[in-house]
Structure 1
Amino acid sequence: MGWFWADASTATPSQSSSPPHHALPSSHPPLAPGSPPPGCPMHQPTAEALKSASSCPVKHDATSASPPPSSCPVPHGNTPTTSASPAAEQPGLLSKLNPLNYMFSDLSQAPAANQSIALPTSRDESSIPKGTGDGNWEYPSPQQMYNALLRKGYTDTDPTAVESMVAVHNFLNEGAWAEIVDWERRFGRGLSRGWQVSRRGEENVDLELRRVEAREGEPPQPTLVRFQGRPKDMTPKAAMLQVMGWLYPEKFGTEPPFDRHDWFVSRNINGREKQIRYVIDYYSGEPEPTGEPVFYLDVRPAMTPTGAAERLVRWGGDVWWRAKGGDLTEQKKQ
């Protein structure tokens, strides 16, 4: 995930059409895109295998060693390999990376040496607006992705698998953004409005949103300022689920998430911008009978005071509605 690409200068918008918007309900239903390639960390069947692979071009650990060949082109070290030359004479690796996504900003679209097949050079524009206001985030082309993998040392990457890898990552990013937009529609104008929308349970949220937005108008669209991959930092919620799975394996048993992202979203509140951090846990599920992989996304605001309050309001509204038999009451009124 997180294969966004932003040049150091203003990028020219892609000529290709934006990918479809995949809305994911709060219960996080499975996603079943095409089978990812062997070079992609999501291809591995177990969480233990997935732990070794980062799925996003983001700095993850300042002291970790070089990643295994199966992972993605991520700067895992804070400095490049030491050499006899003084550090001042050799620019550090991080100085060559875009600080918004920690990807190389100067990757060529030219085929690599000894590349066995031609890869597309077109870049798809996402549906995710940039925090700078100059268009949407763009995904890398398959050729750029392949060059990035080679540049980071993943010389065993199968070029025939790169297009599928890009497609799966883009698909999941679009799904994650759809969840974030849903949170922002509820709480972008405050907790009281969020409660007004959430108080009749999750099944009535869409209806309540339409009513409120018809009266107030649609809220300003959120934008994605930056993002960070943190696959080695398990979220408290994911850790608690693992403990529950150990205690009650039949009910809560599940593999730990194979990746975690923090997305920093700009929220417009009365003309002022406020940055909201969202946490995304990526889980792999049982494959479909056809063999296609299944993924679950758990997207929610981080446990800041504001984020915790929003999560409590959303959860509390649904619990309150079901506890008082809201559906039965509505049916009797009809």
Structure 2
Amino acid sequence: MLANVPSECPMSGQGGGRSLLPQQPESDINPDNRMPPPNQQPAPDQPFLLPTERVVSSIPKAGEDGERWVYPSPQMFWNAMLRKGWRWKEDALSPDDMKTIISIHNANNEQAWEEVLRWEALHARECPCGPKLAKFGGKAKEFSPRARMRNWMGYELPFDRHDWIVDRCGKQVRYIIDYYDGGSVKENFQFTILDVRPALDSFGAVWDRMKVAYWRWTTSPPTHTNKEELKLAKDFPEERQKV
């Protein structure tokens, strides 16, 4: 059984690291991911050594041509969990468990970005170079209005929430990602059901949500839909349960 670890994501855009102080000064917090500098040092009383190698994601990083966000190493992830209040002695955790946790974390982020790209296909003409992830932050205890509404209807609350700020060729757009438990872990390490959508911060976001809701329930996009939107409309009906 995997440990019940804190949920907020420690993905970083930095490659190096220095030791994490017990109480990190606010000035050292990276505003892009709300995380302190990467820490690759083993924690006190850590029961086993963990790898420090990091994996480069497929998610492009805003403001840096050709750069992509980098996932934390197992050691960085361990330290991040400790910083958020997790205590390893309360869980029978093994190195294989940590490997699985990291794989799930990375798979969730890749899946979330794929969902963002589907929404961003609505704006392919205004942003031909494609969107990039500018910054993000975890808000596990701040349930979105949609999550609360679903809970009032009898559905479970998400176990985590992230807000991602996407750079759409100079325009920043906020996305909300709610994470729901999807049961057992699959071979591709995807067990989480993601509800990804643009936040209702602007008329454009409201219009996108209305358009996609129409497609999901009718499976019939308007005749004036462009090629990118037509492909998107064919994908979205599979997820009617998220409306």
**Normalising by the residue count of structure 2, what TM-score does the alignment of the two structures yield?**
0.72
Deviations 1:236-294 (A, max 9, x none): 2112212222xxxxxxxx211111111000012xxxx100111111111344799x983
5 Å-filtered alignment, 1:54-65, equals 54-57=7-10
How far apart are the structure 1 equivalents of 2:104 and 2:37? 22
User: Is residue 224–residue 264 contact of structure 1 (8 Å, CA) maintained in 2?
Assistant: yes
Question: Which of these residues, 241, 266, 277, is aligned with residue 167 of structure 2?
Answer: 266
- Judged with a 3 Å threshold, the aligned counterparts in structure 2 of structure 1 residues 152 and 130 are, in CA distance, closer, same or farther, namely same
Q: Partner amino acid for 1:186? A: L
Query: What is the CA distance between 1:115 and its match in structure 2?
Result: 3.4
Alignment match, 1:48: none
Query: What is the CA distance between 1:151 and its match in structure 2?
Result: 4.8
Q: Partner amino acid for 2:3? A: P
Alignment match, 2:144: 235
Alignment match, 2:207: 309
User: Is residue 282–residue 298 contact of structure 1 (8 Å, CA) maintained in 2?
Assistant: yes
5 Å-filtered alignment, 1:98-137, equals 98-107=30-39, 109-134=40-65, 135-137=67-69
Q: Partner amino acid for 2:194? A: L
Q: Partner amino acid for 2:167? A: S
Query: What is the CA distance between 1:38 and its match in structure 2?
Result: 1.0
Report the identity percentage. 40
Q: 3-state DSSP class of the match of 1:315?
A: helix
Question: Which of these residues, 140, 152, 176, is aligned with residue 279 of structure 1?
Answer: 176
Q: Partner amino acid for 2:8? A: S
User: Is residue 265–residue 277 contact of structure 1 (8 Å, CA) maintained in 2?
Assistant: yes
Structure whose alpha-carbon radius of gyration is higher: 1
Alignment match, 2:28: 96
User: Is residue 60–residue 133 contact of structure 2 (8 Å, CA) maintained in 1?
Assistant: yes
- Judged with a 3 Å threshold, the aligned counterparts in structure 2 of structure 1 residues 261 and 175 are, in CA distance, closer, same or farther, namely same
Q: Partner amino acid for 1:312? A: M
Question: Which of these residues, 57, 80, 84, is aligned with residue 148 of structure 1?
Answer: 80
- Judged with a 3 Å threshold, the aligned counterparts in structure 2 of structure 1 residues 154 and 287 are, in CA distance, closer, same or farther, namely closer
In structure 2, the gaps of 5 or more residues are 12-22, 223-243
How far apart are the structure 1 equivalents of 2:174 and 2:86? 31
- Judged with a 3 Å threshold, the aligned counterparts in structure 2 of structure 1 residues 149 and 259 are, in CA distance, closer, same or farther, namely closer
User: Is residue 10–residue 72 contact of structure 2 (8 Å, CA) maintained in 1?
Assistant: no
Query: What is the CA distance between 1:173 and its match in structure 2?
Result: 0.5
How far apart are the structure 2 equivalents of 1:289 and 1:145? 21
Q: Partner amino acid for 1:267? A: R
Question: Which of these residues, 109, 115, 121, is aligned with residue 173 of structure 1?
Answer: 109
How far apart are the structure 2 equivalents of 1:255 and 1:171? 22
User: Is residue 227–residue 262 contact of structure 1 (8 Å, CA) maintained in 2?
Assistant: yes
User: Is residue 10–residue 80 contact of structure 2 (8 Å, CA) maintained in 1?
Assistant: no
5 Å-filtered alignment, 1:177-196, equals 177-189=113-125
How far apart are the structure 2 equivalents of 1:126 and 1:185? 20
How far apart are the structure 2 equivalents of 1:220 and 1:323? 25
Q: 3-state DSSP class of the match of 1:260?
A: strand
- Judged with a 3 Å threshold, the aligned counterparts in structure 2 of structure 1 residues 95 and 262 are, in CA distance, closer, same or farther, namely same
User: Is residue 188–residue 267 contact of structure 1 (8 Å, CA) maintained in 2?
Assistant: no
- Judged with a 3 Å threshold, the aligned counterparts in structure 2 of structure 1 residues 152 and 258 are, in CA distance, closer, same or farther, namely closer
Q: 3-state DSSP class of the match of 1:163?
A: helix
User: Is residue 163–residue 176 contact of structure 2 (8 Å, CA) maintained in 1?
Assistant: yes
Higher RCO, 1 or 2 (CA under 8 Å, sep at least 6)?
1
Alignment match, 1:295: 192
Aligned structure 1 segments of 4 or more residues deviating by more than 6 angstroms: none
Paired residue total: 204
